[in-house]
Each structure stands twice: as C-alpha cells, then as structure tokens.
Structure 1
Amino acid sequence: MKESKFMERITPRTFKGTRDLLPVDMIRREELFDYVRRVYRRYGFLPLETPAVEYLDVLLGKYGTEGEKLLYRLDYKGGHVLALRYDLTVPLARVVAQHADLPKPFKRYQMQPVWRADSPQLRQGRYREFYQCDADIVGEEDRIADAEILAVIAELVDGLGMGTFHVRVNHRKILEGMVAAAGLPADAGPAVLRAIDKIDKVGEKGIESELEREGVPTEARRVLLDLLQHPSGGAAEIESLRDRLPDQPAIAEGCADLLRIWSCLDALGSGLEPYQFRLGLARGLDYYTGAVYEAFTDALPHMGSLAGGGRYDGLIAIFSGQDVAAVGATVGMDRILTALDQLGLNPPRSSVTEVMVLQWGEGSEPAALAMTGRLRRAGISTEIGYRSGKLGKQIGGVSKRGIPLVLFQGPEEAERGEWSLKVLSSGEQHTVAERDVETVVRRQIEAIAAEGSAR
C-alpha cells in the first residue's frame, strides 16, 4: 500500500476500558443476546431502546455520590449539559414519565451499552463501556412482580451452565432498621449502606474501618457488625431476624415483604434453592426502596455479581410527580462472557457459515452457484468459494476460517450426479447423490453440534 505524503499518520488505538469486538467475540455475544432475549420474552417483556445521551439533570441525584463521579459528561453547544447514560433504569423512569399512556403494568426489556468512568478490571469483566440487559416491571405493587424478576434472573443464570449459583436477597427497609437499631440517625444510612455493600471486597475489618472514617461511634459499629453475623438462608432466617428485633418496624416491614416474595417464588415451582437471604447485601444505588438482589456463581467468587436489581418505587415520581411502583434487574453481559471464558464454557467460533461450496476445475462455477442457492433456500448457512484452484489449498483456507464442512464436485462426480462432502474436524469424506445433499449436510451439521454439546 502506497504511503500518503499529505497526511500525518495517526496511531490506531482504543480508549482504556473500551475495546473492539471482532467477529470471534461478536458471534458469541450475539448468541448470548439471543438467549437472554428468548428468556425475557417468555416472561412477557417487551423491547425498548433509549438514546445513549441524556440531559445531565435527568441522571444527577439518582446514583449516589460515588456513582455520580463516574458519569461521562458532555458539553454541547447552546449551553446544554449532557451525559452518557450510566445505566438503563433511570432512562426507563424518564420514558415512563414522558410517555404516560404506556399500558400498565409495563414489562420491558432493554439491551444496550452504558458508560462509566470507572477503573477497568478485565479479570472481573469490568469495562468503561459495557452492555446491560435489563428486565423491569413498572406499575405493579404486588410482590408477585418481585418474584418474577428474581425468577427470570435465576433462570438466565441457570441456563448458562456455570454450575451452582446463588441469588442473594435483602431489603432496604431491613437495612434502614439496622441503622436505627444501631442508634444512628436516618441521614447516616447512605454512608452505612455504602460500607456494608463492600463486605465481599474488604471484609468486616474493612467495613469497620470505613464506618469509623464516616464518624460512626464504636457502639453503633459493634451493633452493625453483630447484625451482619446473622445467618444467611431462607424464610426461617428472615423470620428469626424479625423476631430478634421486634421493636424495629422497618425490619418487620422488610421481613414481611421478603416472606411474601419467598411464598410467590415457592408457588412458581422452580425451587427455592438458588435464593439466599443475606444481610450483607446493600446495592449502592440510591434509588432502591424495597427488595434488592444480586446473582453470583460459586465457581468464580472473584467475579462479583453477574446480575442484580431491586424495587425502586420512588424513582419515576422524580420525573412525573406521581408515585409509580417499579421493580427490575440488570444482567451484565460482559461480565457473563468473561465468566464463561474463564470456565471454558464459551469456546470461540470464528465463523457462522456451516458449509462452503468450492469451485473445482474449469466450468464448475454454474453448478457451485446453483448448489449454494439450494442450500441457502433450505435454511443452511452457506458460502461459495469465489475462484477455482487447487483443492487442497482451498480446503486449508476454509479450515483456517473455522467452517466445518466443505462441498465440492469434480468432473467425474458431475457426470454421475454426485458431490463430495468433507468434514474438516475428522477428515471424513462422503459421496452424496445430488438429490440428497440438503439432507446429508443437515445431518452432519446436527452431528457436529451434538459433539460440541457433549464436550
């Protein structure tokens, strides 16, 4: 390639915490999107998209002090101050307020990128630009809605095949009651919640140090840390916490809420094993008002949560002036893909093509084109080799691209009305009558897929 003498060369690079998604990455990503979309639709969720850019005042005041530091702010002509969206929940709240005629309950799913000026941690699948896959139910107070969100999270994570997992559940009212039980004023709640939310990262000593830095007295720290020792579990552990602090109405309210959700989950019939009541779960975002939850895989404790969410009944009122019940969850697509890679459960695929039809020999083009068209009309992903050439060289090129099957026809086979089908993974080669090509190719594709599933 001739070098231009009129332009200064620019070094090709990407911003830290972002990356190019090449075909080998996008194939797996799109398959995961398709899986998540199928599950969400089975629960009746409808698709939604919102702009990447929101007015800054739409986003401010929703994520807490630490969250707002991570907003990417944009200066725009005319004095407008904008920001890239931080999550998909606040834009949903704006949409519901702006389009008040949406029928309720409004069940929506949304799969789009978000941006946070965070420190990238690639081992945990944490980037500055990443995809979230949200499902929310707006306009329904009944805790059946909470149970549905928890059930869809559990089904999604279970279907990924990562082994044992848990969906940890807590309640903001219970956390408020813990603050009160420690003798602290309500305005100390945000700092306490931020500290508790870091328990898996810094441990109890780290939490105590942070609470001390926030000015929490020694006795209050002791009460909070003692409460955090409350056993995790299910309905029995929720009831025992309620009975342990009978003079805390917020805790009684939160426990009653969780017991109702547990009852709904039990009635849904998918089993209660994944769900774990855990006092150490807080979720740091300020807009949560009820149950909160996060999903973790036991196989990768360092990974952090794969999904999380909760009830946020007060958020939409900020935009509409009217209280609207809402509950939902987000699934971290990039973190899940990182987890699957680390567990060896998501082997890369460099092609979506199932069979390559090669030209071989003079005059082979018309037959190759006709067969390519036939296979595509039969629903088989098919490419055609654009030029004739040495067969071995062509097959080697196809193999490098990750295409599993090669179909070709030499002059003698053309006279007999036959084709040769080669399975590149095993080297097996079959002679197939022209009338049977679609059937045999489809059978080989199914066999290759079954072999991959067995591995």
Structure 2
Amino acid sequence: MAQKPSIPKGTRDFNAVEVAKRSYIMDVIKEQFELYGFQPIETPSFENSETLMGKYGDEGDRLIFKILNSGDFMKILDRDRSRNFLAANKFLKFFNEFIKKNNEDYQSNLSYCLDQYYYPKRNKNHDKLKDLMLREENSFKEIINDDKYSNEDLIRIFLMSFHLEFSYDSKEISTRISEKALRYDLTVPFARYVVQHQNEIEFPFKRYQIQPVWRADRPQKGRFREFYQCDADVVGSRSLFQEVEFVQLYDAVFTALDLKGVTIKINNRKILSGIAEVIGAQDKLIDFTVALDKLDKIGEEKVKEEMSSKGISEEGISKLQPLFSLKGDFGTQVESLKSILNTSEVGLKGIEELEFIDAAISKLGLKTANLQLDVTLARGLNYYTGAIFEVAAPEGVKMGSIGGGGRYDDLTSIFGKPDTSGVGISFGLDRIYLVLEELNLFPKTIADATKVLFINFGDKEAMACLQAVTQLRQNGVKAELYPDNAKMKKQMTHANRRNIPYVVLVGEEEMNSGIYTLKNMLTGDQHKLNLKELLSTLK
C-alpha cells in the first residue's frame, strides 16, 4: 500500500509565493544589518551536545533535539555489560584467593588483581574501582570472606556497590547514544564560534547570522519546531551605546518593512537580580525569572502559584505586588523601581543602565517604533546579564514576541574565554511573516515570477522563441518557453494558473517578419511588436 505523504508536526513546506515573501523579509533585515556594520557568518546545523546542554535552563534543555549516534549502540552497551560481568566474576575469584592468603596486604593484592583481571590500562573503571575499594577496605574484606554469600551474590554486590552494571555512568551512556544535537538558537553556537576563531577575529566583532534552528516545542500559531532566526551580535565591548544601536536597528528594520507601531520592550537582568535580593530569593533567581516571564501568558495568580511551588516564600511574593501594577512612562516606572530597589546595589546599577539607554534614544529619536520599560520582562535564558529586549507586534495583532535579545557578559567563558562581553538581538522571521500577512503589508509585486510565457507551436518556432527569450533574460525580464508542443488552450491555461501576465505567440508569419504577438492575459489586448519594442514593453 502506498505511503501517505506527511511532514513532522511543527514543520512546513513553502510554495513559491511564500518563499518570495520570506526572502523579502530576510533581504530587508540583511540590508539593515550590513548598514549597521554587521558581517555575515554561518555555523553548522548541529553542534556537539555539550556545546548546547546547560545553556538554556531546564526548560530550554528539554526542547533540544538530540541526534542519535549511528550504529547499534544498544548492542555495544549490552556487550560492555557482559564484559563487565565476566571481568567482575574473574576478579572476585582471584581477589578472594589473595585476601585469604594475605589478609593484611590488601592494597597490593587489590592492585595486582585489578591489573590482571579488570581490563588493565584499557578500562575507565580501573582506577575508579581501586579508589572505591580502598576507601571501603574493611567492609569489602568482610563481604568477600563471608561464606554466606555465593559467588553470584558477590558479583551482584560488587556491581551494585560501584554502579558498574554498565561500563558507563548515566552521562556516559547518554553520550554513547547521542553526542550531537540540532542547534536551539544561534547565540550559543556564536559564542562557541568566537572562542574557536578568536585569533582570526578583530574585536569588537559585529556579526549577523540568518539560519534555521530547531526546538522540540508544542506547535501552535507562530511557534514551530523548525524556524529561522535572524541574529545580530557584538562581542568585545561593554559600551551601552551598543544597546542604543540595537534599539535603532529594530526601529530601522520594522520601518523598512512598513510595520509601524511595534513596541520595543526593555528590562535589565540586574534589576531582576535586585528584586530577587530584596524578596530574599537570590538562590532562586532562575526560578523567579522563568515564572515572571510568563506573566502575560498565564496571569498574575498563576505566576504567584509557580513561584510558591519553587520555594519562594509568601512574604517574598507579597513584596512583588508593586511590580504587577507598575504603570506610567519610562521615567515614572524608573522612579518607582528606585524606591523598591533602594537597598540593592546591583538593582540600582541596572536602573542606571536603563536610564542611559532611554536618554540616548530620547535624544536620537525613533522613526516608527516605541521604547517601553517592562519590568516583568525576564526571558528565561540563563545567559543574559544586562539589558533584555523583546519586540511586540503593533496593537491589535495577536502574536507573541517578534524579536528579542539582550546583554551577556560571560557566555564565552563556558568555552574558555572569560570576560568577553556581548550583546545581541534576534528577529523572529516566521512571526514577522504572519504579522505582515495579517496586516497586508507585503508589496504587491513581491511574488512576481515569470512575466512572459512564449507559446510553443513546434520545434522551429520554439527555437525562434528561445532566441527572443535569451535576449529578454539578458535584459532582466523573467521569460520562459512552454517546453511541449501542446494544444494552445492548455498552454494558455498554464499561463493563467501561474498568474503569468503576458504570453507571446510566434508562428510562421511572425518568424518571417521578425514580429512578436504580445497578449495581455488580464485585458486580452494583443499587440504586434519587434524585439526592441517587446523588450521595452516588458521591462
């Protein structure tokens, strides 16, 4: 039976029109990136698992797509388990004899037996086993010399005591099964790139990257398992003027897309750290910020419930109440925050940074976007340390964030390069697409494909048509020849279905005279033109 064609949930096919619209958005973003001095790079679609794991918090780690190693890894694990069992059996028998002969010389007997029977110099458990058995010397002597234990019992005790049922612990088993994973975002791979290529890079380094990422998320409107991110980052500078430029960049891109009225929300992780300090939840900063970030999705009461479930005290949660009702313009909210955070040095530093950015933007001005302080904005990613950005679609459009980013001061330290500060933003291509579609903001000519189709009346006529098609293409006109000598009606229907606005008819008469009959498929009008006139009309 034929297989029913399908694609995985959270992925999509794109037709020619959709591809053209997506390319339009990417081209606009790319143009603005380059105007602001960013250089393009690309990284692999998958990374080593250790590069990605632990960088996005528990929730993010669960959404990483892992890639199974090739080969029958279960057979390998079973083989190793069997080898360990046999080794344990031989080891215990031999070790038991030595203990009985010389009960005092435990360490030398142990070393000798391990070297003889426990995969000498090859097995990763050799030294670990020796250390553990020396530490538990007395108890193991007693167990091995106790007649009530059969050899099978001893093997079981041996394996269970040292967690050696497999040759690998749980982390090692996981590595055996999957060593690589599809990238979750572009920022962590970028940090890896910076450290790996640091001797080739001129700092501050400004890069942009437009590539797909993958997340094992629950698909819904505007949220997919495979989607593109469009990122721009600067590393090697702590200057807050970088944040100012990113606010301007957001404004420039959305203005160029004619998407007016977006809101650029801004906060600072130092402020969130200060709030956690004030409510006595410094040790639960991640839990606190992850819950707070959900405020617009699940509401105030659910956020409080989640915080409580994470061990944040009721007294601490009650101190957050002013945050849930914080209103007013940028300056008003800042003044309210100062009173809340007056005992937190780190919180006041965050406020100072926000005031700098706001003052600069107020002086420079924005074209069509709005800058707004949102103190509940947390973004549950572990690596942000300063400013946090998130962009909301214009009012009236129901859509999640269409952009986001922030400052990270220590991301590259996980790859061995400390004290390299960075800041970056991302554009959500797929959500921007949906917003432009909903607001009918795509240019009308964006999906223009073939402009003229030459009708095929036979091989001789087709060759004459191809000569004209070649001339038109060389002058930038999208033209093609219908490949088959089919009925005229079929060829005309083909042009209509593909929304090709013109067709050209070249019969024997046209060939002899060098004249082309151009038909407008929308109006039905026909005109006889020479090649120069045809080119002028179609351009």
TM range (shorter): 0.7 to 0.9
Q: 2:57 aligns with which of 55, 59, 64?
A: 64
How many residue pairs match? The answer is 432
Distance 1:146 1:177 in 2: 21
Q: 1:89 aligns with which of 158, 179, 187?
A: 187
Alignment of 1:189-228 (within 5 A): 189-228=285-324
Q: What is the CA-CA distance between 1:369 and the residue it aligns to? A: 1.0
Deviation per CA, 1:299-347: give whole Å up to 9, x if none. Answer: 4553110010000111011112321010001111122222233334447
Does 2:473 match 1:376? yes
Q: 1:105 aligns with which of 204, 225, 228?
A: 204
Kept in 1, the 8 Å contact 2:281–2:316? The answer is no
Distance 1:416 1:313 in 2: 73
Kept in 2, the 8 Å contact 1:163–1:299? The answer is no
Structure richer in helix, relative to its length: 2
Distance 1:384 1:104 in 2: 52
Cα RMSD of the aligned pairs, angstroms, is: 2.4
Sort the Cα spacing of 1:113 and 1:361 in 2 relative to 1 into closer, same or farther, 3 A.
Answer: closer
Distance 1:383 1:137 in 2: 45
Which residue in the other structure is 2:261 paired with?
164
Kept in 1, the 8 Å contact 2:270–2:347? The answer is yes
Q: What is the CA-CA distance between 1:362 and the residue it aligns to? A: 7.5
Q: 3-state SS of the aligned residue for 1:57?
A: helix
Q: 1:118 aligns with which of 209, 212, 217?
A: 217
Which residue in the other structure is 1:400 paired with?
497
Alignment of 1:25-424 (within 5 A): 25-76=18-69, 79=176, 81-101=179-199, 102-121=201-220, 123=221, 125-182=222-279, 184-243=280-339, 245-271=341-367, 274-299=370-395, 301-346=397-442, 352-360=449-457, 363-424=460-521
Kept in 1, the 8 Å contact 2:186–2:209? The answer is yes
Kept in 1, the 8 Å contact 2:252–2:367? The answer is no
What TM-score do the two structures reach when normalised by structure 1? 0.88
Q: 3-state SS of the aligned residue for 2:22?
A: helix
Q: What is the CA-CA distance between 1:436 and the residue it aligns to? A: 1.8
Kept in 2, the 8 Å contact 1:360–1:388? The answer is yes
Q: What is the CA-CA distance between 1:163 and the residue it aligns to? A: 3.8
Kept in 1, the 8 Å contact 2:260–2:369? The answer is no
Q: 3-state SS of the aligned residue for 1:284?
A: coil
Distance 1:272 1:291 in 2: 21
Q: 2:13 aligns with which of 15, 20, 23?
A: 20
Amino acid at match of 1:368: C
Kept in 1, the 8 Å contact 2:65–2:215? The answer is yes
Kept in 1, the 8 Å contact 2:39–2:208? The answer is yes
Distance 1:56 1:232 in 2: 44
Kept in 2, the 8 Å contact 1:287–1:312? The answer is yes
Distance 2:486 2:377 in 1: 63
Q: Identity across aligned pairs (percent)? A: 36
Q: 3-state SS of the aligned residue for 2:319?
A: helix
Sort the Cα spacing of 1:432 and 1:225 in 2 relative to 1 into closer, same or farther, 3 A.
Answer: farther
Distance 1:382 1:131 in 2: 31
Which residue in the other structure is 1:447 paired with?
none
Kept in 1, the 8 Å contact 2:25–2:257? The answer is no
Runs of 5+ in structure 1 lacking a partner? 1-7, 443-455
